[in-house]
Amino acid sequence: MFNSLTSLFKQLIEGEDLSKTSKASPNIAIASLLCEVAGADHEIDEKEQAAKLMLIQRLLGLTEEEAAQLLEKAQPQVDQSVSLYDFTSQLRELSQPVRIDLIKAMWEVAHADGEIDPMEDAVIRKTAELLYVDHSDFIKTKLSVLGEE
């Protein structure tokens, strides 16, 4: 993220028109959020990678190859992103059930390695807030993934 801020300041100093930066498509935004939560604890294991791939396929109805390509495009977006708003702003037009499914998918990625790191929890919590997902749905999806519902 520090590199992203440095890049942003460099663009400002050099007078680049930041309004021309292209916004991510909703599919890339969804994939980016899954990548963001997987990398929140600075440890991405194979189980989280597999979970991201499977969940992208399920959420977006893509083939394994298409999902892998989308995740490949999303990771640089995550590396260059300054905030979660970069992605969530693309998803506000989604229906509430779809947003709730996305939050549940984020919990599934976070829990794929058997534990939910506090940083992963914070990313999901902030995403839910930015997407206007009710706190009760945020908790229900977490409990569902943990098998406590």
* pLDDT at residue number 83: 87
Tell me the CA distances in angstroms from 1 to 17, 28, 109, 111, 134, one per residue in order.
Answer: 21, 18, 21, 23, 28
pLDDT for 147 equals 86
Angle (CA) 95 98 103, round 5°: 125
Report pLDDT for 24. Answer: 54
Q: Rounded to the nearest 10 degrees, what angle do helices 64-80 and 46-60 cross at? A: 110
Task: Give the closest residue to 56 by CA, choosing from 42, 69, 45, 43.
Answer: 69
User: Any idea which fold 24-146 has?
Assistant: TerB-like (1.10.3680)
pLDDT for 25 equals 84
pLDDT value of position 19:
39
pLDDT of residue 40: 87
Q: Report pLDDT for 10.
A: 53
Report the pLDDT value the prediction gives residue 97, as an integer from 0 to 100: 93
Domain boundaries, the chain: 24-146
Per-residue pLDDT of the chain (149 residues; tens, 9 = 90+): 444 445 544 554 555 444 334 455 889 999 999 999 998 888 778 888 899 999 999 989 989 999 999 999 998 888 888 888 889 988 988 899 999 999 999 999 999 988 899 999 999 999 999 999 999 999 999 999 998 75
Distances (CA, A) of 38 to 74, 96, 113, 135: 12, 23, 10, 21
CA distance 70 to 136: 30
C-alpha distances (whole Å) from 139 to each of 66, 120, 132 are 31, 14, 14
CA 49-82-61 angle, 5° bins:
40
Q: What is the pLDDT, as a whole number, of residue 44?
A: 78
Predicted pLDDT of residue 13:
55
pLDDT at residue 6, as a whole number: 53
Own/partner contacts of 4-9, CB < 8 Å, gap of 24 or more, are 4/79, 4/80, 4/81, 4/82, 5/82, 7/80, 8/82
